[in-house]
Copies of this chain bind each other. A is one copy, B any other.
Amino acid sequence: MFPDPAGPYLDRAGALDAADPLADLRQRFLLADDVVYLDGNSLGALPAAVPPALEDAVRRQWGTDLIRSWNTNAWWQAPLRVGDAIGALIGAGPGQTVAGDSTSVQIYNALTAAARLRPGRPLLAVDPGHFPTDRYIAAGVARVLGLEVRDVAPADLPEFLAAEGERVAAAAYAPVDYRTGELFDMTALTEAIHAAGALALWDLCHAAGALPVELDALGADFAVGCGYKYLSGGPGAPAFLYVARRHQAAFDPALTGWNGHARPFDPTQEYEPADGIGRGRIGTPPMLSLLALEAALTAFADVDLAAVRAKSLSVTGFFLDCAQALLPEFEAVTPRAPERRGSQVSLRHPDAYALVQALAARGVIGDMRAPDLLRFGVNALYVSHRDVLRAVTTLRDVVAEGAHRPYLTQQRSAVI
């Protein structure tokens, strides 16, 4: 008998999990024991607080209290209330974050407002590796405002800004590359953007709830993010918008819906924006999804994001160790250095699509990004070291057995 090369890793996983101060948090999620869920960076698992909260929202608040719930159940305040709850996870003091709409819509509003705060500057700088919607929306903003989008990789941004920064109105970047999991230096990039006199818009989709973000301390100008990844707010959960307090009085977005009006129930013929972050509201928010998100955020109650970050790095680092030892056919594209790593591990393999399908058939759920990236998100609130070891050994077995071959000829359909 040959010893299983995974053996030592199993022992190590057991020891690491036994010492994990956050291990009990998994009980805050309704996740089957036999599932290894590594797609929380696309759709977070279901927090246990959500079903009863939604049942109450539907049967009592909507069904019985009816229209009065806007007052009696404080529906009207929900976007600001949920915004502040998210703000607490991204280093934003109260009154600077509002929940609602989709990330795409929030980017549109933030970028139009940013450009209007820097009139006469014709450029928007955007990461060419940005999640596509960020790029598409930036192009749309540039088109209506007569601006030009420049593709500048994060590594090149300081040099670009030193040369052309005076012409840049805003720079829209994400701290985490959604494909590779690379973490960029938010502090250095924000400083470079500000040194050029431009404004920084951060897309926190792959950061909020996954690692500490300190928007106020950073001096960030604007930020957006979705509610359904590491925040576990449910499919398509409302997004959020952060507007630093110093910009709020001049915040002048393109989408001026009635919820953002100063006196929405005694409206004027012309739009008058509400004071503060309230002017970031647009139309009536999807309340059931918003209340599900609010309940989901209670999974973070009394959770220290520094501890989340420490565990995340431990789990993703362990994942990389296991992959290096047990998956020689795969190239790890996620940086090894902790300060350059978000909360995911991406592995390169030409059969990525088929492998992810075969993994899912064995209860290990990740996802892929075309053409060749297997992507595994780690939500430290419910993913353990044993989970990622099981992902690695299952992947090893799938490859050894060729269990992914039946999927090779399938059309690559949606894998979100």
Are B261 and A132 touching (Cβ within 8 A)? yes
Instruction: Give the residue name and chain of the B residue nearest to A257 (CB).
Output: B104
Instruction: Decide yes or no whether A324 CB sits under 8 A from chain B.
Output: no
A51 nearest in chain B by CB position: B58
- Distance between A49 CB and nearest chain B CB, rounded to angstroms: 11
* Interface presence of A93 (CB below 8 A): no
Residue interface bits A62-95, CB-to-B below 8 A is 1, else 0 = 1110111111000110000000000000000000
| CB-contact partner of A286 in B108, B135, B238, under 8 A | B238
Chain B residues within 8 Å of A268, by CB: 132
The reply on A282 being an interface residue by CB < 8 A is yes
Q: What CA separation (Å) do A44 and B39 show in the bound complex?
A: 36
Partner of A257 from the list B75, B136, B360 (CB cut-off 8 Å) is: B136
- The stretch among A156-164, A288-296, A344-352, A398-406 that forms the contact with chain B is A288-296
- Closest B residue to A238 using CB positions: B286
Q: Is A212 an interface residue (CB 8 A)?
A: no
| A45, A145, A270, A286 — most chain B CB neighbours (10 Å) | A286
Chain B min CB distance to A122 (Å): 16
Determine if A287 is an interface residue (Cβ-Cβ < 8 Å).
yes
Which residue of the partner chain B has the closest CB to A140?
B256
* Size bin of chain A's contact surface: 35 or more
A102-B282, A255-B104 known; A54+B43 contact, CB < 8 A: no
A67–B43 touching, CB < 8 Å: yes
Could you tell me the distance between the alpha carbons of A375 and B412 in the complex, rounded to whole angstroms?
A: 53
Contact B254 A144 (CB under 8 A): yes
List, in ascending order, chain B residues with CB within 8 A of A139's CB.
256, 270-271
Tell whether, in the assembled complex, residue B51 and residue A414 are in contact, meaning their CB atoms are under 8 Å apart.
no
Distance between Cα atoms of A46 and B416 in the complex (Å):
32
Residues of B contacting A69 with CB < 8 Å? 235
The yes or no answer to A415 lying at the interface (CB within 8 A) is: yes
Please give, as numbers and ranges, the residues of chain B lying within 8 Å of A54 by CB-CB distance: 54, 58, 288
Q: What are the residues of chain B within 8 A of A409 when measuring CB–CB?
A: none
Cβ–Cβ contact B67 & A271, under 8 A: no
Assess the B51–A59 pair: CB atoms within 8 A.
Answer: yes
A265 to B42, CA, bound (A): 13
Kindly state whether residue A389 has any CB partner on chain B within 8 Å: no
Contact A46/B67 with A75-B235, A139-B271, A283-B133 known, Cβ cut-off 8 Å: no
Which among A32, A144, A234, A288 has the highest number of chain B CB atoms within 10 Å? A288
A237 to B286, CA, bound (A): 5
Once the chains are docked, how many angstroms separate the CA of A415 from the CA of B67? 8
**A288 with B288, Cβ < 8 A, contacts A43-B66, A145-B144, A257-B133 known:** yes
Contact of A264 with B by CB under 8 A: yes
Q: Which of A202-259 contact B (CB under 8 A)?
A: 226, 228, 234-239, 254-259
Cα A237 to Cα B288 with chains together (Å)? 8
What would 16 A/B residue contacts be, using CB atoms closer than 8 Å?
A30-B63, A32-B64, A35-B66, A58-B292, A62-B234, A71-B414, A104-B258, A105-B257, A105-B283, A128-B269, A136-B258, A136-B271, A236-B284, A237-B286, A238-B286, A288-B292
Please list the residues of chain A having a beta carbon within 8 angstroms of any beta carbon in chain B.
Answer: 30-32, 35, 37, 39, 42-43, 45-46, 50-51, 54-55, 58-59, 61-64, 66-71, 75-76, 101-105, 108, 112, 128, 131-133, 135-137, 139-140, 143-145, 226, 228, 234-239, 254-259, 261, 264-271, 282-290, 292, 360, 365, 367, 370, 412-416
A133-B258, A226-B284 are known contacts; what are 13 more A-B pairs with Cβ within 8 Å?
A31-B63, A43-B67, A46-B63, A70-B416, A102-B285, A104-B257, A104-B282, A105-B105, A136-B257, A235-B287, A236-B290, A265-B370, A265-B415
